[in-house]
């Protein structure tokens, strides 16, 4: 991956919260920051509004937004190298293009202009899990530091990239890492009174501890809490995120035609979590534990 963080800006309050978050992360990682503003067009490159005067107005507004974003970065993190880029097109596609091999892509959860739409989904749901690097969806202004990062764990190799990102974030911040492993019994077993629930619980605990073992050894400076619960993963992760500075989830869902899309857990977490969320796409060949 290239050493640059890309943040999408649109002039809205959530968009500037994303810029502030990205500036802080660029400072922690010691990498440059690129602010991108997209003048939106409809499909097939047809302008959203007609007339050259409208286009000039949109471009002028985008330049003003980028200048304001650059000022936010310089005031918040003066040592961060910041650049700006104005693009035309559909916002999600433009941001996916800019993300490329970037260290991460940061977006606001919603915007007011032609960038993020009225609800979570128009941009954030169309970039999360669909670029090579992590996508951070900033939902709130960073005002309180909890000192904890939460990461979703499921025992599969597909969540290794999410673990790698979460451990890096915890290490950079000096935070505790809470690894949440939520499991549930199939209905047939839950209804069977002969099921040894304690044995099942211990088996799931062992799965979580086994996946974390190599990471504990690799990152001994990070305090790790293995939080294993019999509960729904979306509800459990969203609740844990209330006391976290960042909630990290993997994305390894696939559509019927095989393209990478958000899985049910990552999609549910993006909708229900109140904290900032990082979605990390599973790699085709995950790093070995």
CA dist 41 and 4 (Å) reads 26
Pair (58, 91) in one structural domain: yes
pLDDT value at position 200?
83
Instruction: Kindly report the backbone phi and psi dihedral angles of residue 39, in degrees, each rounded to the nearest multiple of 5, phi listed first.
Output: -85, 115
Same domain, yes or no, for 92 and 155? Answer: no
Give pTM, 2 decimals. 0.85
CA distances from 148 to 24, 81, 141, 206, 245 (A): 16, 27, 16, 23, 6
Within the chain, which residues score under 50 in pLDDT?
Answer: 43-44, 112-121, 188, 190-191, 254-260, 285-289
Q: Are residues 16 and 121 in the same domain?
A: yes
What is the number of domains present in the chain? 2
Residue 74 within any structural domain of the chain: yes
Give yes or no: residues 66 and 123 share one domain: yes
Establish if 63 belongs to a structural domain.
Answer: yes
What pLDDT, on a 0 to 100 scale, did the predictor assign at position 47? Answer: 53
Range of the domain at 209: 148-281
7 forms beta bridges with: 35, 106
**pLDDT of 255:** 42
Taken in order 86, 88, 91, 94, is the CA torsion positive or negative? negative
Q: Which residues contact 207 (CB under 8 A, 6 or more apart)?
A: 155, 181
Same domain, 168 and 128: no
Looking at residue 40, its pLDDT comes to: 81
3-state class of 209 per DSSP? helix
| Residue 134 and residue 178 share a domain | no
CATH number of residue 60's parent domain? 3.40.50.620
| Residue at 99 is within a domain | yes
Q: Which of 110, 138, 166 is the last residue of a domain?
A: 138
Q: Could you tell me if 195 and 258 lie in one domain?
A: yes
Co-location of 277 and 156 in the same domain: yes
Q: Are 31 and 51 part of one and the same domain?
A: yes
Q: What is the pLDDT of residue 271?
A: 87
């Amino acid at each position: 991956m290239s050493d640059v963080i890309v943040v999408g800006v649109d002039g809205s309050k959530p968009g500037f919260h994303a810029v502030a978050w990205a500036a802080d992360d660029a400072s922690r990682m010691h990498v440059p920051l690129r602010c991108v503003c997209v003048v939106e067009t409809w499909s097939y490159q047809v302008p959203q509004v007609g007339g050259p005067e409208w286009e000039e107005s949109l471009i002028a507004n985008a330049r003003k937004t980028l200048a304001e974003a650059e000022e936010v970065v310089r005031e918040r993190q003066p040592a961060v190298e910041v650049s700006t880029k104005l693009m035309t097109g559909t916002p999600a596609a433009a941001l996916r293009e800019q993300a490329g091999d970037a260290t991460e892509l940061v977006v606001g959860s919603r915007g007011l202009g032609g960038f993020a739409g009225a609800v979570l989904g128009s941009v954030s749901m169309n970039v999360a899990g669909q670029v090579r690097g992590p996508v951070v969806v900033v939902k709130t202004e960073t005002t309180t530091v909890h000192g904890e990062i939460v990461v979703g764990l499921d025992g599969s190799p597909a969540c290794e990239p999410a673990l790698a990102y979460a451990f890096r974030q915890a290490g950079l911040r000096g935070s505790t890492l809470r690894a949440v492993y939520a499991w549930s019994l199939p209905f047939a077993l839950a209804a069977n009174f002969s099921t040894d629930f304690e044995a099942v619980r211990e088996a799931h605990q062992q799965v979580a501890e086994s996946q974390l073992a190599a990471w504990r050894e690799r990152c001994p400076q990070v305090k790790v809490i293995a939080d294993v619960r019999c509960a729904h993963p979306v509800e459990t992760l969203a609740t844990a995120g209330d006391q976290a500075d960042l909630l990290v989830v993997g994305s390894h869902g696939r559509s019927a035609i095989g393209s990478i899309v958000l899985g049910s857990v990552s999609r549910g977490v993006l909708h229900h979590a109140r904290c900032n969320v990082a979605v990390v796409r599973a790699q085709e060949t995950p790093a070995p534990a």
